[in-house]
Structure 1
Amino acid sequence: MDSNQNNDIIGDFSLICPECGVGNPKNTENCIVCDKDLKHTVAFFEDDPFDLEITEEHLIEYRKNFWGTDRTGKINKYALNKIKKLEFGSSISRLIFEYNRKRVILPLREENLIKIKEFLK
C-alpha cells in the first residue's frame, strides 16, 4: 500500500455535537448519531468545568461536576447581542464579559480561548 494513501483526508468532522459529543461534517443540519438539530450551532468546545456551545445567537454554558466528567444539568444561556465589555485572557486563560449588568468569568483551556476569540470578536 502506498504511504500517501494513508494521508488522504476523508472529511472534516470538526462540528462537535453538544448533545452526544460526536464529530459531524461542517454545515450538517443534524447530528449523524443523535439527530440533534445543528443548523444553528457554530462551534462547540469541551472544557474542564463546562462545555461551551456557540450558536448564531447565543453562548451556551453546560456546567459539569467537580471532576469535569459529567454534566450537572445546569445550563447558562447568554444572548450574544447582550454580552458587553468582552475581554480575553489574564494571567490565566479566561473569558470575561458583562451580562445583564453582572460580570461573568469563564476559565478556559488556552486552546479553547484562542478558538473562541475567532468566533466572538
Structure 2
Amino acid sequence: MTYLDDDLGMVTFSLICPECGVANPDDSLNCMVCDRDLTNIVLFLEDDSFDLELTNEHLIEYRKNFWGTDRTGKVNRYPLSEIRNIEYGSPVTRFKFDFNGERKVIPLRKENMEILKDVLPIVIKRNNI
C-alpha cells in the first residue's frame, strides 16, 4: 500500500511470512493471511532449493523439491548457539558451518549470500552467541 502524499509516508510490504509466503507490512506482528507470529523473524530468504528463515535463536531451512517450486516438508532447524566455524564461500556461493559435528553446506544465490553475510553476524553478536 502506498500513499501519494509524501507527508503520510510509504508502507512497504517486505516482511515475508515463512509459513505461507505472503508479503506483510514491515511492522506486522502476525501474518495477515495465516496469522503466524512474525515478531521473531529477523530475515527470510527464498532461494532455489530451499527457503531460509533467520530468527534471534535459529537458522531454519525449509527444503524444496528438485524444481524449487514446492516445499517438501523437510525442515532443518539449527540453533545459532550450536553453529560453529561459519564460512561464506567464494568464488562459489556456499554458506558453510559446523553443526553437531557435521559440516553443513548450503548453496545460495549471490544476492542472498550477501544479505546473510551482513545480517547473521549482527544477530549473533546482539544475542551474545
Q: Fold match, TM over 0.5? A: yes
What SS does structure 2 have at the residue aligned with 1:26? coil
Listed as ranges, the gaps of 5+ residues in structure 2 are: 122-129
More deviation, 23-32/72-81: 23-32
The runs of 4+ residues in structure 1 deviating greater than 2 Å are 5-10
**Residue pairs, 1:1-121, within 5 angstroms:** 5=4, 10-121=10-121
What is the TM-score of this pair, normalised by structure 1?
A: 0.89
- Give me the whole-angstrom Cα distance separating, in 1, the residues matched to 2:77 and 2:119: 16
- Give me the whole-angstrom Cα distance separating, in 2, the residues matched to 1:6 and 1:39: 29
What SS does structure 1 have at the residue aligned with 2:78? strand
What is the TM-score of this pair, normalised by structure 2?
A: 0.84
Shift of 1:10: 2.8
Aligned length: 117
Shift of 1:12: 1.9
Residue identity opposite 1:53 in structure 2: E
Listed as ranges, the gaps of 5+ residues in structure 1 are: none
Shift of 1:53: 0.3
Root-mean-square deviation (CA), in Å? 1.7
Share of identical aligned residues, percent?
Answer: 56
